Structure 1
Amino acid sequence: MTNLNWLQSLQAIARTGSFTRAAEQLGLTQAAVSQHIRQLEDQYGCVVLRSLRPLALTPTGQLLLSYADEITVANECLQQRLQANDSLQGDVGLVTPGSSGLLLYADLLALQLSQPGLIIRHRFAPGAEVQQAVLDNSYHLGVLTFKPDDPRLYAEEIAEEPLELVYPAGYQVREWQDLQRLGFINHPDGKAMATRLLSRHFPGNPGVTTLPCKGYSNQVSLLLQPVALGLGFTVVPRYARQAFAAQDKIAVLQCGQPVIDTLWAIYRAEWPLNARCRLVLERIRSTLNQAAASQIQ
């Protein structure tokens, strides 16, 4: 059997494209990672193309990487089976978009308080990172705004989330010129979301890029603060707006043809969820559905 430490170094190089970053990720010295690769190459021939940046694997390296990934999945399956799957104690890794994550965070803390021994690791990340985190087995559960087509993932529909145009309370938004006077508060997905929603509110509009940009934030928890202060408007998912504390400082433009995204819970398809993961998933579903039913405006 090939040494697992050697294979882990190969996996890290495939992920990072660098001996240095692979060593940092594994908590090893670069010399140790290099030694592992040399030992693989002594046994199987060249596995890493060192002339390329980032580093690339040879066909032999790719075969060894596939073998290493199969071992990783098998080990994770073994751990799942060895754990007391009927226990609600232990770790649950959850990765979500910021909007739904904001709404879920407090309720999941309450769940932890009610279940001593339950530990929820909750990370906010964009969709591509959510999917990869679950594929890498670093998180058990993820929430996406799209249904993945990777056969290694199981996806189930858990909620719907409309996009909302949010502007300062007390302002009037009836025409495109009103948005021009306000200006746009942008965020990483802001222009894409605004383009989708504004086409419903203002058909034939000249586009969000023609609006003056009055601010930017990559933190969804902070995004509505400049709106509340009257600095501009933005377009965000409803759950991000519902999580904002100062609801009296903002307003939502009603849309007869809303843009609605489906939220999907994802997890690895190779094995069933254990009891504590199922508990967290049901709490997520309940929290999101209650928020959708309330439709706080």
Structure 2
Amino acid sequence: MPAVSFQGVAKTYQGARGTLRALDGVSFDIAEGEFFGLLGPNGAGKTTLISVLAGLGRATEGCVTVMGHDVVSDYPAARRALGLVPQELVFDPFFSVRETLRIQSGYFGVRGNEAWIDELLQGLGLADKAHANMRQLSGGMKRRVLVAQALVHKPPVIVLDEPTAGVDVELRQTLWQFVAQLNKQGSTVLLTTHYLEEAEALCGRIAMLKAGKVVALDRTANLLAAASGSVLRFKTDDALPPHLAEHARITGRMVQIRTKDAQAVETMLAKLREANVRIEDLEIGRADLEEVFLSIMQAPSSPRTGTAQEVLA
């Protein structure tokens, strides 16, 4: 039995401007104990899919189950099996951190939960904030409390919807250490993130959504292996000429250019010299998950979900 199952899930919205199909026949399973990544650009349908999973929205078509419980017909059991960390900072300003976690435990009928609450506070770096009012916390600390709320009833499935958006490096490290430990102990984790280096490091398998459809679904290692060629990375203060810039991904001073082989690297370096582009910190490496993601998203719509080799071919 999969921990989470999406079967033919579609979601259609009716509006004054017509019909919007936010999800279009999404189907995949997440095994128990898996650390699974769900990636896609803004508007791809990730949050809509998670809303359907958590019972915050209802699918127009299809079926979703959590630990074998249908999220519509068996909602109470499905919701108890799920711990959701939402994108938005949602908190009650009238309670302390410990009171918030006690109340959240009560929502799920969990009593005598102080030992686990203490472990959550310690593991997420909140021990010294246990008696602080939620209004007094920084945004990063509030995010930690959201994670603790999602975990306080010990759900077997944890859903992290962009949990590290806009937070500092310390919180990211603390969060991933704690979640990775839970995953090793058997918890299933579903992660959505725009920080693709996190997905590459943490997720054993990844699905990519584009316009409400799954356009890639494979093991992370297979996705990376299917991206042939190398990536030329360097820094420069000079502007690339148009015929080179159109093949590059430029972020501030950092430039990344995909190349097919060693000969293509030499050719590209010669072109940069001819254009009088001064290079610093030159690196030649394999494509990372961000390169794979961009290749898949920029490709014509795939006729079907396939392996990494089929999608990137």
Say which structure, 1 or 2, has more relative contact order (CA 8 Å, 6+ apart): 1
Q: Larger % of strand: which?
A: 2
Bigger-Rg structure (1/2)? 1
Q: TM-score, normalised by structure 1?
A: 0.29
Q: Larger % of helix: which?
A: 1
Q: TM-score, normalised by structure 2?
A: 0.28
